[in-house]
Structure formats: C-alpha cells, structure tokens
Structure 1
Amino acid sequence: MGARSQESKVLEYESFLNERLRGDLAKIIEQRDKHYEELAEYLQLETTIQKIKEDLCPESSLKTKVDLGCNFYVQANIPNPSSICVAIGYGFYLDMTLDEALAFIKRKTGVLKEKIDSLSNDAGKVKAHIRLVLESLRQLQHIHAETKPSYRDVLS
C-alpha cells in the first residue's frame, strides 16, 4: 500500500470515527439521559403517592406548595387527594386513583428501564466500534499499543 493511499485510508477512518461513530454515541447517550430523567420523575411521583397514602385518611384534604415555574411556589389545598392526574405520554394526562397510579408507574418504570438497558447496550456496541477503528488506525500508522497515538482530532 502506497504512502498516499495509506494516508487517505487514515483520513477516511478518522472522518468515520469523528463524524459518524462519535455522533451516534452522543445521540444514544442523550436519549438514555432523557429516559433516566423521566424515570427519576416517575420514581419521585411514586414516593409522593406512597407518602400521601400513608399520611392521609380519605376524608381529609391535602395542603401543599405547587411550583408554577422558575421556583415560584404557591400554596394549594387539595380537597380530595384520593385521585391524581398522571402524565401518560405525548402530552396526555389521565385521572387515576392512587392505587391505579402506582400500578401505572410500576409498568412505566419497567418499560423505561428496558429502554435504558437497550440504549446502554447500543452505547457499548458503538464504543466497541470506536475501539476497533482506533486499533485499525493504530495498525495503519504502525503505532505500537504502548505508545500514545497522535490522531488528528480523534480523541477528545
């Protein structure tokens, strides 16, 4: 293989690594982080519902503070805390009893955990592809594994 074709192969691998693989990895991690945030919200809601069920009798009202946005809170009085509106997805909310909400949250968190696991596996596959391309670059440039490679904008 000539020096010019070897250099073009190196540039091709580096381009694939920077433009495709690293971009794919960033998208996967971003999606996974969104699912983690959603999972955290549902787990927080589950804890809140369980606390409401423990502390209140059905006839009592609930006094709480509600965040209107930008950490601006107002007091709210809920006359009947036996039901709750839950975000079920795509901007829809459903009025549920506390027990129905807990059952929904259990199913929803299970689905979110499966998605997170799948995205983590996908991220692992992309990382493996990145390592493979890096090793190919190392071999193309005749760099030994012990020395630190000098790739152009590959490692960030």
Structure 2
Amino acid sequence: MMAKETELNALLQKYDEFVNLKLKPNLKTVLDARDELYNSISNYQKLKQQIELIQQGEHKELKTMVDLGSQFFVQAHMPDTTYIYVNVGFGFHVQFTLDEAKVFIDKKEQRLQSSVKKYSDEADKIRAHIKMVLEAMAEALESAKQS
C-alpha cells in the first residue's frame, strides 16, 4: 500500500510540475504577446482617428505634443500635414499621404487581428491542456481513495 501511495505522489508531483513549470509559463507568454498586439492595434486606431481629425479640420499645419517615451512629451510643429510617417514595422517608417496611411492602417489592423486570433486560439489550447492535467490529477486521487 505504501509503494502505491509513493508512486501516486510522484505522479501527482510530475503533473503539478508540468502544469506550473511548463503550461502556465507558456500561457503567460502567449497572453503577453496577445496583449502587445492589442496595444499595437489601439495605437494604430488612435493614429487613424488623428488623421481623420486632421482631414476634417483641413489643417495645413499642426501643433501637437509628441511622446518621446517614458511619458516624456515635447511640443512639435508640423508645417505641412500633407504627408505623415508611419511605423510599418522592423524599425522602418514610410512616408504616406493621409489617405494612404488610412489604407495601410486598415490592412495592418486586419493582419494584427488575425495574429490576435492565433494567440487566443493557442491560449485556449493551453488552458484546455491545463484543465485536462488537473482532471487527470483529480481522477488519480479519486481512484486512490477508492482503492
């Protein structure tokens, strides 16, 4: 009887380690990556709204505050709002007209939403694995109690 109990404890510890050292960190990584994509989508949506405001007001020049990072803002003056530079990824910025920028942003949002869906699906799979392992642990405990 003692050997079975020791064997069961070892098995439960393996399951527990698998959940806590493998599955949960993987889930956190996937959810963090998804949250980063949501943040990017939000930034592109804000940019699109700003472009639309510029177009509606027909502003030829603009004064604004620009975040240089770490919530450090400086005042910026745009003498010409005909063109805008948009971060297209990998450290590259492309000069677009306002209409071109809106088209790019729409396409970029669709691609980012597709990536969000993939991360969400992956997170769901990991959650299912966690649930399955926890159910297996409960089942092993239940069968040990009945023995």
TM-score by length of 1: 0.84
Structure 1 partner of 2:61:
61
**5+ unaligned residues in a row in structure 1: which ranges?**
144-156
Q: Equivalent residue for 2:86?
A: 86
Instruction: Give the drift of 1:7.
Output: 1.3
* 2:113 paired with 1:113: yes
- How many percent identity over aligned positions? 33
Aligned-CA RMSD value: 1.6
Where in structure 2 are the equivalents of 1:6-85 lying within 5 Å?
6-56=8-58, 60-85=60-85
TM-score for both structures, normalised by structure 2: 0.89
2:77 partner SS: strand
- 1:108 is matched by which residue type in structure 2? K
Q: CA deviation at 1:70?
A: 4.3
Look up the equivalent residue of 1:22 and give its one-letter code.
K
Give the match for residue 7 of structure 2: 5
Superposed displacement of residue 56, structure 1: 1.4
- Per mean C-alpha deviation after superposition, the further-off stretch among 73-82 and 16-25 is 73-82
Deviation string, structure 1 residues 130-156 (Cα, Å, up to 9, x no partner):
11001001011118xxxxxxxxxxxxx
Structure 1 range deviating more: 70-79 or 95-104: 70-79
User: 93-102 or 73-82, which moves further after superposition?
Assistant: 73-82
Give me the whole-angstrom Cα distance separating, in 1, the residues matched to 2:73 and 2:5: 67
Partner amino acid, structure 1, of 2:29: K
Distance change (3 Å), C-alpha of 1:26 and 1:71 = closer
d(CA) in 2 for partners of 1:18, 1:37: 27
Question: 5+ unaligned residues in a row in structure 2: which ranges?
Answer: none
Higher helix proportion (structure 1 or 2): 2
1:86-130 deviations in whole A, cap 9, x for unaligned?
Answer: 000011101111011001000000000011111111101110111
Number of equivalences = 141
